[in-house]
A and B are shown apart, each in its own frame.
Chain A
């Protein structure tokens, strides 16, 4: 598993090509949230020739719908949601310059191919560790689609957000490699 690699969202271009599946990382910087309903709106806007409410170029999207924040907290518990539900939309967003994704669970072959083509990275956060992850969020503000409630787009400033590199820029997939390693014949 090795030591933890620090990933700054300000230097993704340089770092991403060096990240390999199975690397444990801590992400620091600005990321944006977005899940089912926001992705649907993104694609609708693009189909209608409209611009998106945020510039995705060079950004990381985190698939999450947080709980409300308790008084005095920056954000409520905010662990990753299942990424596979975004698979239909993802290649189009990667082609537009979206740089990386944080979520949980395996991705489709189309997404893996697109990650490879666009030299992107897919990070797995640990599903169901929402309280711990919330501690790494230092600022949070809704920047688009406030009517979507927990599915609104937030701009998050995170510090040392713990993740694992699940699909690297060469298209290697930890979900396949990891399972193959531990599979047993019965």
Chain B
């Protein structure tokens, strides 16, 4: 049994929040550069170049690349042989978020009640936390700040099994088409298929945390990712929705077993500022 103190968790989350907001990963930046070569629209090229310049500027000045520094979504893989000591694990994560958003000059976007008060909590807490217990004695924490512009354009549908592959494709493409310029294309398309309603939604979000452009290991899903990307980039939406060939940089699919009578499909879109930062802590 390895012990990890909550202060270590807090510090890690704080740093990851700031890192994710200010430094875009090389994976996404690489796809943007490829997109610049592919884009035929003059506006599209101009927009992607501005985005790349912005990535550089935010990195140099250590400031947020986008003012919507999002809700802090936290994926945790907690080794079953790890013992968290010194206080509450969830409180430590939220304290890390609070300090990261404060010290990093990041925007606080969380409101306390979704329907009635909608009062800003002032420190961007609470985070949305997903914890998986896994084998081993390490703790992996991934911070995925998620902005509302793209989050608002996601969708979930419980398809009939008879709708099959074509049904899945149709729903994903329709979701991207209806989203248009709102999710800040070029986007990354996260797709979760199978499980139950909530499982599909979490898989779609998790798909966005994969290294951008990396394909599913299963060749069927890899092909589906390629086919969907091609179809999406034929829609004409283009960078920022002003027309062009580069609407999406990548499609990432995660799939899992499901009930014989169901085919859940969730689509979670991410803007070009596809931010995620992770760390592995050992006891």
**Interface on A for B, CB 8 Å cutoff?**
1, 22, 24, 37, 64-70, 73, 76-79, 81-82, 84, 104-106, 124, 126-132, 134-135, 148-151, 162, 164, 166, 174-175, 177-186
Supposing A131-B58, A150-B108 touch, asked if A126 and B238 sit within 8 A by C-beta, the answer is: no
Across the interface, A1 reaches (CB within 8 A) one of B43, B107, B273, namely B43
Stretch at the interface among B76-84, B189-197, B239-247, B257-265: B239-247
> B236 within 8 Å of A by Cβ?
yes
Residue of B whose beta carbon sits closest to that of A129: B54
Name the interface residues of B59-118: CB closer than 8 Å to any CB of A: 61, 63-69, 105-109, 118
**A179 and B243 in contact (CB under 8 A), knowing A77-B63, A79-B66?**
yes
Kindly state the separation between the CA atoms of A119 and B83 in the bound complex, as whole angstroms: 65
Q: Give residues 211-233 of B contacting A (CB, 8 Å).
A: 231
Interface size for B (C-beta < 8 A) is 50
Known A82-B152, A182-B238; contact A128-B64, beta-carbon cutoff 8 A = no
The answer to whether B180 and A77 have CB atoms under 8 Å apart is no
Chain B interface residues (CB < 8 Å from chain A): 40-43, 46-47, 50-51, 53-54, 57-58, 61, 63-69, 105-109, 118, 120, 122, 148-149, 152, 180-182, 184, 231, 234-238, 240-245, 271-273
Which residue of chain B has its CB nearest to the CB of A64?
Answer: B67
Measured in the bound complex, the distance between the Cα atoms of B122 and A36 in whole Å is 17
For residue B165, give the distance in angstroms from its CB to the closest CB of chain A. Answer: 15
A105 to B46, CA, bound (A): 17
Q: Take A105-B241, A162-B50, A166-B242 as given contacts and tell me if A178 and B43 are in contact as well, using a CB distance cutoff of 8 Å.
A: yes
**Cross-chain contact A127 with B64 (CB below 8 angstroms):** no
**Smallest Cβ distance from A62 to chain B, in angstroms?**
12
A106–B241 touching, CB < 8 Å: yes
